Amino acid sequence: VVAAERYLYLPLAGVCLAVAAGLGALANRAGRETRPYLGVVLALAFLGGVRAAARGADWRSAEALFSADLRAHPDSTRAATGLAVDLHLKERFDEAEALYRDILAREPWWPVVNGNLALILWRRQDWAGAERRLIEALTWQPDDARLKKNLAWTRARLKRK
Q: What are the tens digits of pLDDT across the range 90-125?
A: 999 999 999 999 999 999 989 999 999 999 999 999
The alpha carbon dihedral of 4, 9, 14, 16 has a sign of: positive
User: pTM of the full predicted structure?
Assistant: 0.71
**Residue 42 pLDDT grade (very low, low, confident, very high; cuts 50, 70, 90):** confident
pLDDT of residue 4: 65
Query: Span 7-28, mean pLDDT?
Result: 76
| H helical segments located in the chain | 9-30, 35-58, 62-72, 77-89, 93-106, 111-123, 127-140, 145-158
Distance CA 88, CA 103 (A): 14
132 three-state secondary structure: helix
pLDDT of residue 32: 63
Distance CA 18, CA 82 (A): 36
